[in-house]
Structure 1
Amino acid sequence: MKYEKWSWGYWCLKQYVRFIDWIIHKKTILTGEENIPQNKPILFAPNHQNALSDPMAILLHTRFQPVWLARADIFKKGIITLLLRFLKIMPVYRLRDGKEQLAKNDKTFSDSIKVLENNFALALFPEAAHSAKRQMLSHKKAVPRIVFMAEEKAKENLDIHIVPVGIYYSSYWKFNRTVIVNFGEPIRVNHFLDEYQTNSNAATMALRDSIYTSIDKLTINIKSKTFYTDFELIRELYGKHFLKRKGEEYSEINLFRSDRELTHKLDAMETDRPEEVNTVIREAKAYNQLLKKYKLRSWLLENQKNNFVKIAGNKVLLILGLPVFLFGFVFNAIPFFATDIPVRKKIKDRAFWSTFFLSSGIILFPIVYLLQLWAVSGFIPGIWLKLLVLACMPFSGKIAFRWYVVWLKTWGRGRLFNLKLFNKKGYNNLLTAQNQLFEKLDKLISSQTLNSEL
């Protein structure tokens, strides 16, 4: 197979998967697209936290048909290998695959050079594994080795540009999530070639570190090993308040950038002020336990203005949207729960959950849609009306889920309203816990900012 050739079959599949991806996500935000070079050989180097969703975030939202390099052990004989090659995925053999297998990398590197020579794009995860956390793993040497070898074999005439990519998910597996894809300024391999000629190992390490630093600026990377879970909890509880305290308007991209700043400060405080960090973590856990006790979310306490009016307005919206919800639920419940329940029970690594949901959207949902249309076709007159019903099934599923989200928010507001009305002690305890936590974090972060400036 000639990986460097444009594939119409790949293009058609890409458009179909792009539609499925749109159904799954609430919003996809791209930044830094101007950093992707034109008419240059490119290697995309993204962080890796969410299995198949990560390559989808790049290949579905760029003009390229990127050729991915993946570990060789996923290439099984038969249809799987044929499918992987159709998807422009090439095997890279590691020492663990057997020393005798390493020679096969010569063909992979040769094909990689052809891709780059034709100004197509390669893609490779520098971490060589996914973390399933907002925490970047240490980088391996694969990316520098491949680009240096490609330049060496091409007599340093390629001018490869490595494009660092930071991928962020509002949730790693929930339906209707937001994904943010940040393309960073390209790293030119040419800038490291002189050092590579005199000290190849030093150049490899320098390029590896440069890639890590570039990606680190583009994603949320909680570096703490001890307090990762605690800092993630603080981000969820305090993040929107921190954004508001900075005087910035709420948007997904603003919240992402604010959360990145917040987690960076928390990491710094672990080193500078460990005792105070331990104290604020205990208060965050206590506040979170109160929220669980009353089955509430922190944002409800922060957005109480006109709560009763919002409840009434949402109820009207829910009533008006009920017929659409019922249509969407009826025609999407079977494939949704047939995927959701087994995946949650059987798949231990949550990073793969979104992969199964995407695969289900590509394969299972269309099959079930056709079977359901066949089952009710006797009640639907005319071929065009039948096709209209079929076309409405995926859209109604997306709308039905949003209806369900509005229902959850309305129910949450109702619980808070009842708590405030009938359990003032519990409400005051909850509000006091939030205020104390936020005030302590405000002071800690303000002093941390001052210390950084000094």
Structure 2
Amino acid sequence: MNYEKWSLGYWLLKQYVRFVDWTIHDKIILSGTDNIPNNKPILIAPNHQNALSDPMAILLHTRFQPVWLARADIFKPGFITLALRFLKIMPVYRMRDGKDQLSKNDKTFADSIKVLENNGALALFPEAAHSAKRQMLSHKKAVPRIVFQAEEKADNNLDIHIVPTGIYYSSYWKFNRSVLVNFGKPILVNDFLDAYNENSSAATLALRDALEKAIEPLTINIKSKEHYECFELIRAIYGKAFAQKTGQQNGFVQRFKSDQQMVKKLDELESINKEKTDEICNATKQFDTDVRKHGLRSWLVENPENNFLKLGLNKLLLLITLPVFAFGFVFNAIPFFAIDTIVRKKIKDFAFWSSFSLVLGFTLFPIVYLLELWAVSGWLPLWWHKLLFLALLPFAGKLAFRWYILLLKTIGRGRLFILKTFRKQQWQNLKNQQEQLFDELNKLS
């Protein structure tokens, strides 16, 4: 197979999956695309936290048809291998696959060189595993070994650019999440070739460490093992207040940068004062527990002003848009809840939930949509009526989900109104608890 050649079939599939991916996300933001060089062989090296969603975040939103290098044990005989090759995924054999298998890497490296010689894009996860956490794993040596061997086989004439990449999700698996893809300044392999010729092992380690250092600022990396869950909870509860206190503007990218700063300060606090960290974490968990006892979320306690007005406006908006919700719900509920049930019950590792949801989504939804079109076609006499009906279904489904989220927020506001009006002492205790917690966290900034 000529991996370096542009594939029409790949391009057509990419357009369809890109649309499906758009329906899943609220926002898809690319940053630093000007760091991706033109007319140069590149290797894209992203962090890896969310299984199949990570390569999708790269290949769906760049101009390339990147060739991915993946561990050889996923290449099962038959359809799976054919599908992986169609998706431009090549096997890399490791010692654990058997010493006699390592020679098969010669073909992979030869194919990689062809891709690079044609100014194509390779892609490889330096961590060689996904963490399912906002936490970088130690980098392996695969990226430097591959680029050095490729340069060696091409007489150091490739001029490979490694593009460090950070992928950040607002949620790893929830529907309507947002994703940010940060492309960093490329690392030039040529800068390490002299060192490689003198001492290949030292140069391999140096390039590995340089790449790890370049990726870390592009993502959120909570280094704490003991307090990871707590720091994530603090991020959810206190993140907006921290952003405002540090002068960050509203927006997904700005909040990402603010959260980076806050996580760094929390890691620093843990390293110098573990007792204080434990105290803050215990207070945060208790506050979260108490908030949820009242059926609320922390953002309602943080910003209770104008709640009555917003409650009334939300109810009015829900009533006006109810027909839109009904249409979207009726024709999207079956595949949506079927996929959600299958994924939650059958997939034990939640790191794969988004991956299976995506795959099931772009296979099951079209089937259900066509069946629904057949069921209502008698009420749609003209062909363009049928086409319009079919085209509206995914958009209506997305609007129905947003209606549902607004409903949940309105219910929360209703509970807040009842708490503030009829249980004033409990409300005041909760508000005092939040203010005391924020006073402690404000010392971080």
Length-normalised TM-score, structure 2:
0.99
Q: Deviations over 1:99-123 (max 9, x none)?
A: 1111101100110010000000000
Q: Specify the alignment match of 1:89 in structure 2.
A: 89
Task: Show the counterpart of 1:262.
Answer: 262
SS at match of 1:217: helix
**Aligned ranges for residues 181-260 of structure 1 at < 5 Å?**
181-260=181-260
Q: How does 1:35-114 map to 2 (within 5 A)?
A: 35-114=35-114
| Deviation of 1:379 (Å) | 2.3
Separation in 1 of the partners of 2:5 and 2:386?
A: 39
1:398 correspondence with 2:398: yes
Q: CA deviation at 1:381?
A: 2.0
Distance in 1, matches of 2:221 and 2:69, equals 24
**Higher mean C-alpha deviation, range 133-142 or range 375-384:** 375-384
Q: Deviations over 1:193-215 (max 9, x none)?
A: 11111111111111111111111
* Amino acid of the structure 2 residue aligned with 1:273: N
Counterpart in the other structure of 1:449:
none
Report whether the alignment pairs 1:281 with 2:293: no
Q: Deviations over 1:15-69 (max 9, x none)?
A: 1111001111001011101100110000000000001110010111110000000
Q: Deviations over 1:71-101 (max 9, x none)?
A: 1111111111111111000001111111111
Deviation, 1:438, is: 0.5
2:315 alignment counterpart: 315
Give the secondary-structure state (helix, strand or coil) at the position aligned to 2:375: helix
Aligned counterpart, 1:157: 157
Aligned to 1:451: none
CA distance in 2, matches of 1:439, 1:398: 39
**AA of the residue aligned to 1:180:** L
Deviates most, 315-324 or 122-131: 315-324
Post-superposition CA distance 1:288-307 (Å, at most 9, x none): 11111112111112222211
Could you tell me which amino acid in structure 2 is paired with residue 56 of structure 1? M
Count of residues in Structure 1 that have an aligned counterpart in Structure 2: 445
Residue 376 (structure 1) shift: 1.7
User: In the alignment, which residue of structure 1 is the partner of 2:11?
Assistant: 11
Report how far residue 380 of structure 1 moved. 2.2
Structure 1 residues 193-202 or 376-385, which shifts more? Answer: 376-385
Q: How high is the sequence identity, in percent, across the aligned residues? A: 68
Residue of structure 1 equivalent to 2:381: 381
Equivalence for 1:170: 170
What is the identity, as a one-letter code, of the residue corresponding to 2:174? Answer: K
Could you say what secondary structure the match of 1:68 adopts? Answer: strand
- Give the TM-score normalised by the residue count of structure 1: 0.97
How far, CA to CA, are the matches of 2:291 and 2:99 in structure 1? 55
Matched letter for residue 124 of structure 2 = L
Cα distance between partner residues in 1 of 2:227 and 2:139: 21
Q: Structure 1: which 5+ residue stretches go unaligned? A: 447-454
Which secondary structure state, in structure 2, belongs to the residue aligned with residue 162 of structure 1? strand
Whole-angstrom distance in 1 between the partners of 2:218 and 2:300? 29
Amino acid at match of 1:354: S
**Are positions 1:295 and 2:303 aligned together?**
no
Q: Give the 5 Å matches for 1:137-148.
A: 137-148=137-148
Q: Counterpart amino acid of 2:77?
A: K
Which residue in 2 is equivalent to 1:450? none
Give the match's secondary structure for 2:28.
strand
